[in-house]
Amino acid sequence: MVEKRTPITVEEALKRVLANQKNGGMEYVDISAAYGRVLAKGLIADHDVPSFDRSPYDGFAIRSVDTEKAAADNPISFNVVGHIGAGSVFQQTLREKEAVRIMTGAAIPKGADAVIMLEDTETIDNDKINIKQQMKHHQNISFQGEDVKKGSLLVSKGKVINPGIIALLATFGYKQVPVSKKPVIGVLATGSELLEVDQELEEGKIRNSNAYMIMSQIERSGAVAKYYGQFSDQLNVCIAQMEKAMKDVDYIITTGGVSVGDFDLLPEIYDHFDARVLFNKIKMRPGSVTTVAQLNDQLLFGLSGNPSACYVGFELFVKPVIDRFICRDKVGMNKEKATLSTEFPKPNLFDRFIRGKYEFRGGQLVVAPSGKDKSNMVHSLADANCLINLPGRPNGYSLGEEVDIYLLDNHW
Amino acid sequence: MVEKRTPITVEEALKRVLANQKNGGMEYVDISAAYGRVLAKGLIADHDVPSFDRSPYDGFAIRSVDTEKAAADNPISFNVVGHIGAGSVFQQTLREKEAVRIMTGAAIPKGADAVIMLEDTETIDNDKINIKQQMKHHQNISFQGEDVKKGSLLVSKGKVINPGIIALLATFGYKQVPVSKKPVIGVLATGSELLEVDQELEEGKIRNSNAYMIMSQIERSGAVAKYYGQFSDQLNVCIAQMEKAMKDVDYIITTGGVSVGDFDLLPEIYDHFDARVLFNKIKMRPGSVTTVAQLNDQLLFGLSGNPSACYVGFELFVKPVIDRFICRDKVGMNKEKATLSTEFPKPNLFDRFIRGKYEFRGGQLVVAPSGKDKSNMVHSLADANCLINLPGRPNGYSLGEEVDIYLLDNHW
């Protein structure tokens, strides 16, 4: 039976997929496990930074009024009455012509209103210094709240947590960090030609590479992969596997079985479950047979068995759904403009997504395919750091033309 | 005691650090855990791809000689003697005017030397087709080894494993993947002003943010962090902690305690262990007091207690050592040229590394500081995706000048 399919655009396909609004809610993880997760709540400063008036320098805390008459030819002598290390607090109140030795970051003692840097003073002995310059009221003091006011929003919800954000979380006492729950995505491979990775090659067969590739794409996108193995071309086995997976996971990806061939199973499986097919044909290459069906709040992604098409189908349609689930502030790959450093002379009849490699030349983004455009998926996928989008048009693309690229590396 | 220090350049400091040539060797991990690791051996194809002659199309395998006289007005009738699904092998040898229905990817049967696409044939009944065009010897056959020859190097040692490389590993049967061992890096925070993340604030104290920040930088760089807690200003406690850490880890990072202040401990600790100080002053801002000492094959990184200086010190000096340890094919952050979208009017007396945020404007890399350049470390670290390097010179830097930036995100 050869099915009739109605192709839709990539934009329309994405729109239908993103109509699924499921998100996973929040969980708390220890700060030591928060790197790379998505912040599930805006990070609000619960105290001022600094949280007390402090010294920005190594030096002496003094009363500026005592330096009013200080000058190079009129040194004023101060009694050193204490020594404040970082973290310590000087308990007395400073009196006339008293100075306290103070470290960077330490709290300004009561009574003091200025800090003079160590190198601007003259040490007489352990208990005495001379000051030869006038100090102003509030000179060299970092005031409470000067960097961050209590209550301000420091990082908004949806940001991926990087080391700088970790520093903020620690500063504000987030031992437990609110992060978005990760979706669990089941992966099933179909195809009677597939061997498992550790099986010996046989004539007519190839090892299953798509499932492992997809699982690492899932991991890169911030979700959790669960492998259900490869299933054969027997309809009842497939259905049983699928039923099992549906109970455990948020979304399901199958690889293979979507072509319009004699042995392709997916349409029958969708029928069995009464899943609503959102689309089964997209006006693009590769991956034109990418199929997505919906069953309750689950999406069943039917990716092509062709490795490049499978890869592209994931990045274009599964990654945005993951981003949505984890409430990331950006949905889908980052898109940038780049200059083609190669030509595509042939007519470009479809919206194409070519495995590409971008690089910077003098600060300019330049891109070329990452391998032979032919079936040589092998190198092209391993070296790709972007997808080059060439929309369909009657002519080809010339060297130096500006095109859109979608970045594959983890550009949060 | 105020120590005298001799400042050296960033380049010289890096050279001294990288003189440490320790690397961790290799271990095997399951392919499902290999994403993001560094490949420890070149990936060599142990078989041809395809590993057998196969059909690139859905169609019929035939003997081209039987089509010699075929033409639109001279259909030649073929008997369909079999049906080969992907993964199956047709066991007989094709004879005169016989055709075998063949799926994309299936092995070409013996005797056949061409494939005619399904749409180019005329179906008479289940067992008979007509062919109306001449087919050439070897037409529409993907030959064994056409994509990859057995023995070729597909991915070289030192590459970080991405999903495309996972696909290759699976194709070539790497159920267990040889990857570089990760270094374990001990983290100790010093400073009597530090509270743990879950402690209530007290006057004069701040929470320890550097240790958690550094641990996530370690993770981002592909190493393993081990936290030894914060240690006080008591020399004997510090030494005991350090001794413990040294037994377990490959490198040690301490934060704080490196300034030329009264209470700084690190010089005394280095002395105690008879560690050789590689440098303790660098001609750069921030992080001028970054100190590295060597003890046998261990490096002791003494990073500043100032968050920005600590962050920069890690990326400039610890990350390259990690890259070396894991035999990554690139050592250190990626460096690119970018255009300043802001000016730095003041004289720039030191080699500076400013937390920056780059973005693409029409394919051009443009960069600005990610926060106030002042002490406001808070936002500037959270939003930074690069370090802007401004080498020292008497004048400042103008808007539109091209500068070097070092990328912080995981641009493998």
What CATH number corresponds to the domain at position B247? 3.40.980.10
B84 to chain A, closest Cα gap in Å: 10
Domain boundary among B297, B325, B353: B325
- Residue A292 near chain B (CB below 8 Å): no
Question: Model confidence over A388-409: pLDDT tens digits?
Answer: 999 999 999 999 999 999 999 8
Residue A215 near chain B (CB below 8 Å): yes
Categorize the per-residue pLDDT at A99 as very low, low, confident or very high, splitting at 50, 70 and 90.
Answer: very high
Distance from CA of B182 to the nearest CA of A (A): 18
C-beta separation of B385 from B354 below 8 A:
no
For A225, the closest chain B residue by CA position comes to B32
CA distances from A217 to A150, A221, A224, A301, B293 (A): 40, 6, 10, 14, 40
pLDDT of residue B105: 86
Residues A123 and A176 in one domain: no
Look at phi and psi of residue B259 and say left if phi exceeds 0, alpha if psi is from -120 to 50, else beta.
Answer: beta
A39 and A163 share a domain?
yes
pLDDT of residue A372: 63
**Has residue A263 got a pLDDT over 70?**
no
Highest-scoring range by mean pLDDT, A29-43, A82-96, B264-278: A29-43
Shared domain for A106 and A191, answered yes or no, is: no
Within 10 angstroms of residue B90's Cβ, the number of other Cβ atoms is: 22
pLDDT in tens, A308-338: 999 999 999 999 999 999 999 999 999 999 9
Among the partner residues A171, A204, A336, nearest to B88 by beta-carbon distance: A204
Please report, for the domain that includes residue A402, its CATH number.
2.40.340.10
Please indicate, yes or no, whether residues B291 and B375 belong to a single structural domain of this protein: no
Please state the rounded mean pLDDT for residues B329-347: 94
**pLDDT score at B1:** 40
Task: Name the residue facing A363 among B47, B207, B402 (closest C-beta).
Answer: B402
Least confident among A230-244, A280-294, B120-134, B334-348: A230-244
Of A410, A343, A412, give the one whose Cα is nearest residue A155: A412
Q: Is the pLDDT score of B388 beyond 80?
A: yes
Smallest Cα–Cα separation from B305: which of A85, A47, A189?
Answer: A85
Let me know if residue B145 belongs to a domain: no
Q: Is residue B139 part of a domain?
A: no
Average pLDDT taken over every residue of chain B:
91
Could you give the C-alpha distances from B369 to A316, B114, B213, B341, B344, in angstroms and in order?
A: 32, 63, 20, 9, 10
List the single residue in B162, B206, B338 with the smallest CB-CB distance to A363: B338
The reply to whether A376 falls in a domain is yes
Minimal Cβ distance to B219: which of A35, A197, A383: A35
User: Region A370-388: what's the mean pLDDT?
Assistant: 76
Does B4 map to a domain?
A: no
- Mark whether B35 and B163 lie in a shared domain: yes
CB contacts < 8 A, A to B, total 297
A231 with A296, same domain: the answer is: yes
User: Mutating which of B110, B166, B177, B383 best tests the A interface, going by the most A Cβ atoms within 10 A?
Assistant: B166
Beta strand B298-303 with B291-295: parallel, antiparallel or unpaired? antiparallel
**pLDDT above 70 coverage of chain A, percent:** 95
Contact assignment for B49 to A162 by CB distance below 8 Å: no
Q: Give the gap in angstroms from C-alpha B311 to the nearest C-alpha of chain A.
A: 8
Is B258 strand, coil or helix? coil
Confirm whether A325 is domain-assigned.
no
Q: What is the mean pLDDT of chain A?
A: 91
> A89 is in which domain, residue-wise?
59-131
Residues of A in contact with B355 (CB under 8 A): 164
Chain B window 93-112: which residues touch A at a Cβ cutoff of 8 Å? 103-107
Looking at residue B148, its pLDDT comes to 86
- Looking at the domain assignment, is residue B81 inside a domain? yes
Final residue of a domain: which of B291, B325, B359? Answer: B325
- CATH number, domain containing residue B82: 2.170.190.11
- For position A376, what pLDDT does the model report? 46
Q: Is B382 on the interface with A (CB under 8 A)?
A: yes
Tokens for B307, please give them.
Answer: 């968050």
Non-local CB neighbours of A286 within 8 Å, separated by 6+ positions:
A304, A306, A308, A309, A312, A353
Could you tell me if A158 and A43 lie in one domain?
Answer: yes
Using pLDDT thresholds of 50, 70 and 90, give the confidence band for residue A86.
confident
Q: Is A153 on the interface with B (CB under 8 A)?
A: no
pLDDT > 70 in chain B, percent: 95
Residue where a domain stops, chosen among B131, B166, B189: B131
CB pair distance less than 8 Å for A207 and B171: yes
Q: What is the mean pLDDT of residues A279-283?
A: 95
Task: Please determine, for residue B259, whether its predicted confidence score (pLDDT) is greater than 80.
Answer: no
For residue B410, what pLDDT band results from cuts at 50, 70 and 90?
A: low
- Rounded to the nearest angstrom, the minimum Cα separation between A109 and chain B is 10
Number of structural domains, chain A? 4
Give Cβ neighbours of residue B12 (< 8 Å, ≥ 6 apart). B279
**B336 neighbors B403 (Cβ within 8 angstroms):** no
Determine the residue type at B257. Answer: G
Model pLDDT, residue A187:
97
**CATH number reported for the structural domain that contains residue B171 in this entry:** 3.90.105.10
The 10s digit of each residue's pLDDT in A165-222 is: 999 999 999 999 999 999 999 999 988 889 999 999 998 899 999 999 999 999 999 9
Tokens encoding A321: 């759904």
Give me the pLDDT at residue B372, please: 62
**pLDDT score for A237:** 86
In Å, how far is A16's CA from the nearest CA of chain B?
26
Same domain, B32 and B173: yes
Tokens 């400063």 — which residue? A45
Task: Please spell the DSSP secondary structure of A111-177, one letter per residue.
Answer: T--EEEEGGGEEEEETTEEEE-S---TTTT-B-TTSSB-TT-EEE-TT-B--HHHHHHHHHTT-SEE
End-to-end CA distance of chain B: 45
Residue B144 resides in a domain: no
The pair of structure tokens assigned to B287 is 């992080």
Residue B160 within any structural domain of the chain? yes
For B371, the closest chain A residue by CA position comes to A147
**CA-based nearest distance A99→chain B, Å:** 17
Structural tokens at position A409: 């590396």
Same domain? For A198 and A304 the reply is: yes
DSSP B148: B
| Same domain? A390 vs A362 | yes
Residue A260's pLDDT band, with cuts at 50, 70 and 90, is low
**Quick check: A377 contacting B, CB < 8 Å?**
yes
Best of A54, A101, A207, A412 to mutate (most B CBs within 10 Å, chain B) = A207
Residues A162 and A121 in one domain: no
What would the mean pLDDT of B121-128 be, rounded to a whole number?
94
Same domain, A304 and A198: yes
* Tokens, residue A173: 């006492």
**Is the CB of A143 inside 8 Å of chain B's CB atoms?**
no
Q: What is the ipTM of this complex?
A: 0.93
Residue-level pLDDT at A306: 87
Can you say whether the dihedral through the CA atoms of B103, B108, B109, B114 is positive or negative? positive
